[in-house]
Amino acid sequence: MKTIIALITAFMAASSIALAQEKPDAPQFKLVQFHMALLRRGPKWSAGGLSQEVRSAHVATVMSLLESGKASIAGPLGDEGDILGVYIFRAKSADEAKAWAESDPAVKSGEVIAEMHPWWSEDVMKTPATPLKLKKVYLGFLTRGAKWTAEETAATAELQKAHLENIKRLADTKKLVMAGPFGDNGNLRGIFVFNVASLDEAKELAATDPAVKAGRLAIEIHPWLVPEGIVP
């Protein structure tokens, strides 16, 4: 519980200072830097999806990255959005993570591009169960909302307090199971991962967030198929 609150405090604080300039690995947060690759449609993407040859090679690469521990999580999004899948890499540097993402045959072929982001989280991801089976969870991307502002005011501080109280409530239900900030201070602010029965339930939980209600943040939720056993 303390971990989730600390994570959300780190990336949702109403501050104009970029998260990358903070000290997210300070003891009170216990955060580890990972690198997230968002797989998006590339210039050679076709309406029919990946070619059979590329698909087979892509799956083999995903399995290899998971088995080696280079990828802590990898899995496709289960809808028709622009983001096709997500890798979370345990790498020593952004360059190393980028090289691993670009080793994917789907990226090499130009059918997919890998959009890289530094991402911070407590190291809660576990070894996948064997034999490998996929589990559906719900991944929410928090972004700057229509009323986002970097200005710190009494109103934003009060909104932040209410936001954190709601995070604690969701974590207490054990339905919010992962959260963490992006480290590049862009439009993407962080992620929520919900372990719930349906997309509608995930959306209902996300909609209770006071910052989302106020328009300071927006959230987009996708079904996410990940190896069973990884998500706490």
Instruction: Please count the CA atoms within 13 angstroms of the CA of 207 that sit on its side-chain side.
Output: 6
Angle between helices 154-172 and 2-12 (to 10 degrees): 150
Residues facing residue 141 across a β-bridge: 191, 220
Query: Is 232 contained in some domain?
Result: yes
Amino acid found at 123: D
Whether 89 and 101 have beta carbons less than 8 Å apart is answered as yes
Give the domain-ending residue among 88, 121, 154: 121
The residue with tokens 């989730």 is: 4
- Tell me: do 194 and 102 sit in the same domain: no
Flag whether 16 is in a domain.
no
In this prediction the pTM is 0.86
Claim to verify: residue 45 and residue 89 sit in the same structural domain: yes
Which of these three, 97, 121, 145, is where a domain ends? 121
- pLDDT, mean over the chain: 87
**CA-based nearest residue to 38, from 144, 209, 187:** 187
Contacts of 158 (CB under 8 A, 6+ apart): none
Which residue segment(s) compose the domain that 193 sits in?
Answer: 127-232
Question: Does the residue 83 lie in any domain?
Answer: yes
- 26 in a structural domain: no
- List pLDDT tens digits, range 140-195: 999 999 999 989 899 999 998 998 788 789 889 999 998 888 999 999 999 999 99
214 and 143 inside one domain? yes
Does residue 77 sit in the same domain as residue 159? no
- Residue 97 and residue 141 in one domain: no
In a domain, 213, yes or no: yes
Give the CATH number of the domain where residue 36 resides: 3.30.70.1060
Cis before 131? omega within 30: yes
Please tell me whether residues 85 and 136 are part of one structural domain.
no
Q: Which of 71, 90, 121 is the last residue of a domain?
A: 121
How many independent structural domains does the chain possess? 2
Q: Are residues 109 and 74 located together in one domain of the fold?
A: yes
Same domain as 134, residue 117: no
Whether residue 24 is preceded by a cis peptide bond, meaning omega within 30 degrees of 0, is: no
- Domain assignment present for 175: yes
In tens digits, what is the pLDDT along the chain, a chain of 232 residues?
A: 444 444 444 444 333 223 333 333 333 447 899 999 999 999 999 988 999 999 999 999 999 999 999 999 999 999 988 999 999 999 999 999 999 999 999 999 999 999 999 999 888 899 998 888 999 999 999 999 999 998 989 999 999 899 878 878 988 999 999 888 899 999 999 999 999 999 999 999 999 999 999 999 999 999 999 999 999 8
Q: How far apart are CA 160 and CA 12, in angstroms?
A: 8
DSSP string, 153-178: -HHHHHHHHHHHHHHHHHHHTT-EEE
Same domain, yes or no: 83 and 133? no
